[in-house]
Amino acid sequence: MHPDLEKLLELDKLNQRINELNQEIAALPQRVAAIEKKLAGTQAQVDGAKAALKQVETSKRKFESDIQSLQQKISKYRDQSLNVKTNQEYKAINDEIAFAQAEIRKAEDKILDGMAETETRDLELKNAQAELALERKEVEKEQAEAKQRTAEDTKELSELVPRRDAIRGTIDENRVRHYERAVKLRGSGIGIVRDGKCMACYVMLRPQTYNEVQSDEHVVTCDSCGRFLIYYREPAGTAAAAPANGAAQQS
């Protein structure tokens, strides 16, 4: 293979790996942020369950206070009944006592309803707290993994970038500019040739171009997509598919 083609192929592989690493480094904080957002939602559920439980307890205390006040009224009315002088006054006091007793029963019913709701709210709170604890562990795990992965990716980048730059410096400048222009326009600067076709843009090559690519002695570009062309040879005894970087590209 022509020396510059070998270098361009290696440059393309390094560029692809560098791009993968940069994308992964950029995506890791977003992945952690998504989990943290879910954690915030669960925290809101916990806070809501606590608020609801507190409201039930507040209502219970209010009804208990109302019952105490009504019982005091009943006691007062009964004391007054000892001093009434007419049946009309006696009936009026008994009506007040009956009304207060009815209000006490209503308040007691509300307290019973509140006790049932307290059980429900308490269960909701415990479930939300359990889920929150699990999600916190997940966030901590994701944060640790993201930190470790970022460090590993950054280390690999620190090794690959100098290698890429060194290889780039040994290739003819015009070819490097052509390669980088193809990468900018097409996403890749290399097209694998198979069965007389550029597998990056799926355009058939002219016979002369195809022969030149097969010879490996020339640096040839695709007339359609502008990528540098490299002939693909299947390993002996295998039916391997063409490398994905060429076949998967679009023109």
Mean pLDDT by 10 residues, the chain (251 residues): 89 92 90 84 86 88 92 90 86 91 91 86 87 87 88 95 94 94 92 94 94 91 94 63 44 42
- Answer whether 186's CB lies under 8 Å from 249's CB: yes
Residue at which a domain ends, from 168, 203, 229: 168
- Answer whether 189's CB lies under 8 Å from 226's CB: no
Instruction: Give the domain CATH number at 74.
Output: 1.10.287.1490
Residue at which a domain ends, from 168, 195, 225: 168
Note whether 129 and 57 are same-domain residues.
Answer: yes
DSSP secondary-structure letter at 202?
A: T
Note whether 178 and 66 are same-domain residues.
Answer: no
C-beta contacts of 10-16 below 8 A and 24+ residues apart: 10/167, 11/164, 11/167, 11/168, 11/171, 11/179, 11/189, 12/179, 12/188, 12/189, 12/190, 12/245, 13/245, 14/160, 14/163, 14/164, 14/167, 15/164, 15/183, 15/189, 16/188, 16/245
Phi and psi dihedrals of 84, rounded to 5? Answer: -70, 155
SS3 107: helix
Note whether 199 and 125 are same-domain residues.
Answer: no
Residue 248 is predicted with a pLDDT of 40
Note whether 12 and 43 are same-domain residues.
Answer: yes
pTM of the predicted model as reported, rounded to 2 decimal places: 0.60
Number of structural domains found in the chain: 2
Residue 146 is predicted with a pLDDT of 86
Note whether 38 and 81 are same-domain residues.
Answer: yes
| Domain extent for 74 | 3-168
Residue 235 is predicted with a pLDDT of 63
Note whether 46 and 111 are same-domain residues.
Answer: yes
Note whether 133 and 104 are same-domain residues.
Answer: yes
Please give the Cα distance from 26 to 36 (Å, whole number): 16
Residue 128 is predicted with a pLDDT of 86
Residue at which a domain ends, from 168, 190, 207: 168
